[in-house]
Structure 1
């Protein structure tokens, strides 16, 4: 074949392969590789094949029609109103097969059209902040999300759902949790972050059920206690199969797999609840530990304003291990960073001792860390292992670190949530040591649940 059919054409092709000819059907996308044809298959996957080994059996060009908006869904006064705040990711997007681009579908009518179950759960309205890859999200965008949640509650919304790319979803959700709950109060309604691991045009997409779970929790979940890290949650697939989504505390969850649908797993705790979705029947089952703690803890008072993050705060991170050198720490000190974070090994350790008298780099590193502390730069340890606490009381190494002034002993949140907590303290002018040793809203788990 000299050239591929036009992009957007629906085709039937014969491909020459090493194991013989094979027939495929699908939609032509812009080529992923030069001199190849790229086809979106019915199962949602893309296939590229050399043009010289591709033969057209059938080709139908679909004429581009002006897009028409779906009718606005009627407001149901008996249902709560949920605002969906879109920041990016694939959860509310679709592929334009003419351009190959992923585009956001974020009018309320389009959401309900794409996931019709939503109209039986809540009245949906939407606000679009942007369509960003989550790795591009910075603290300035956390503040935009916080602004949007504040506005939603001020305008009478009962709850909020934030759609977000999955790679840093647990970081942004932690930031919003500290913004609303760090000062001792809680948001006026439930806030649920949600994403998807598979794009909505793939047969294996988790987008619809994750969104249904998030909206269900925001609309019908129990009133947040505020002391149990339950004001802001993350809703994602519980297993690789459909039918159940976990509701995680924002500060107790992390993305732990690059592609699985159940990539989000709890850290040192268990999910707060499960939303079940079975042939149109949707239910909420609270976890036993969450039910018990709700009885034991009195609810917080509601606030209508949240804190904001200083987007100019600079936090330098280091990975503890054989390659960590004092020069890196010295450079950070000279750059006038606001804090240093070390991802410690094991229970939270850095290489600062030289028992065999043959690793002077360790003593140089210790000297550099001490220099930072003496310069009033907060130095914090988080857990490189992800699971388990930072415990600097077990080994003499940890006790030395505490004597030096290194912070972080007792942390049980995800490492990223701990760093957000540090950023929160720096942004709000609070005493860093006091904040890091405080359990502000249940983010620190006293009884680790694996």
Structure 2
């Protein structure tokens, strides 16, 4: 599908959160830090104003690693206001450390068909071959595309268009770090236009939090791990994600502790691999996927541990009961 509707009269709001895309060197620091404003970013992109009528708002200015879930809840409130104001699309710039998580969480909460596109940079603005300007331009060109409406939250880097629910950061430094390993990209940006090769069925949004955000942690299985990190979690956290071996396996010594925790809180069984599903009935040894599901754990399906954690937090924060939590994971995997 080719989106051939370039229109410089379309309005795009750029919300900046900081990150590498906004980083430069200063005399006071030995490395780069977030210093560029949204206006600085937009002003460095040739041809941007020809793609849309762009306005900029400095929403946050921090490294991606310092963003919190509360920041994203506030961001979603701002997106809803932009939608009510008739903005055609929104681009969010931020650090790539947490971009796959913040985009996914925004996608859980985002309502309506207004395109929301996350982007960032792998090379800071002072580096040779800085990729921020090109990524920002491609993100704006995607945000004004008619094909982007109703597709959910998107991530655009390296001229590739990814669904937030599928994208992962797969390399620490490469400009091509972001991939959708299970599905591939939804499309590409070429000649100033977003070209979509496919689409995704919409998923009902999760209600915004009604109270304090719950604490949910991830415990990762590793060779010979004793499960010590599972001790003392009851009463300290509201939910747990287990990043298990392979298709959903843990050491046998973990089983009793996980069963007790699953009786006290939702415990989600995900795979530390990050791609592919948690199985349900292939293996039957103690600590296998079928054994753990029988002990009360909830399958994450195809969600990686980080996205499973965010989904569980959002469901708990909305006051969703346990049976509905299990169904929500089934519907989104």
Distance 1:223 1:262, change over 3 A: closer
Deviation at 1:91, TM superposition (A): 1.6
Distance 1:204 1:96, change over 3 A: same
Distance 1:211 1:318, change over 3 A: same
Structure 2: where are the runs of 5+ without partners?
Answer: 1-6
Deviation at 1:199, TM superposition (A): 0.6
Deviation at 1:334, TM superposition (A): 4.4
Deviates more, 1:255-264 or 1:99-108: 99-108
Contact 1:274/1:285 (8 A) holds in 2: yes
Q: Secondary structure at the match of 1:252?
A: coil
Q: Following superposition of structure 1 onto structure 2, how do residues 12-27 of structure 1 map, counting pairs within 5 Å? A: none
Q: Distance in 1 between matches of 2:101 and 2:210?
A: 13
Q: Give the TM-score normalised by the residue count of structure 1.
A: 0.66
Contact 1:275/1:282 (8 A) holds in 2: yes
Q: Give the TM-score normalised by the residue count of structure 2.
A: 0.88
Please, which of 261, 265, 285 is the counterpart of residue 372 of structure 1? Answer: 261
Distance 1:309 1:95, change over 3 A: farther
Contact 1:252/1:414 (8 A) holds in 2: no
Distance 1:311 1:173, change over 3 A: farther
1:123 equivalent to 2:53? Answer yes
1:266 aligns with: 180
Distance 1:92 1:133, change over 3 A: closer
Q: 1:91-144: CA deviations, max 9, x gaps?
A: 244445687764543354x44421121101111111212211111111111112
1:312 equivalent to 2:194? Answer no
1:421 aligns with: 311
1:284 aligns with: 194
Please, which of 219, 224, 233 is the counterpart of residue 332 of structure 1? Answer: 233
1:51 aligns with: none
1:232 aligns with: 153
1:149 equivalent to 2:107? Answer no
Relative contact order, CA 8 A, sep 6+: which one is greater? 2
1:391 aligns with: 279
Distance 1:99 1:132, change over 3 A: closer
1:401 equivalent to 2:292? Answer yes
Deviation at 1:424, TM superposition (A): 1.2
Q: 1:56-112: CA deviations, max 9, x gaps?
A: xxxxxxxxxxxxxxxxxxxxx95111111111112244445687764543354x444
Flag the structure with larger Rg.
Answer: 1
2:4 aligns with: none
1:106 aligns with: 37
Aligned residues: 323
Q: Following superposition of structure 1 onto structure 2, how do residues 22-421 of structure 1 map, counting pairs within 5 Å? A: 79-96=9-26, 102-108=33-39, 110-180=40-110, 186-225=111-150, 230-237=151-158, 245-276=159-190, 281-287=191-197, 289-290=198-199, 307-308=208-209, 312-335=213-236, 337-352=237-252, 362=253, 365-375=254-264, 377-396=265-284, 397-408=288-299, 411-421=301-311
Distance 1:223 1:192, change over 3 A: closer
Structure 1: where are the runs of 5+ without partners?
Answer: 1-76, 181-185, 238-244, 353-361, 445-450
Q: Distance in 2 between matches of 1:168 and 1:311?
A: 22
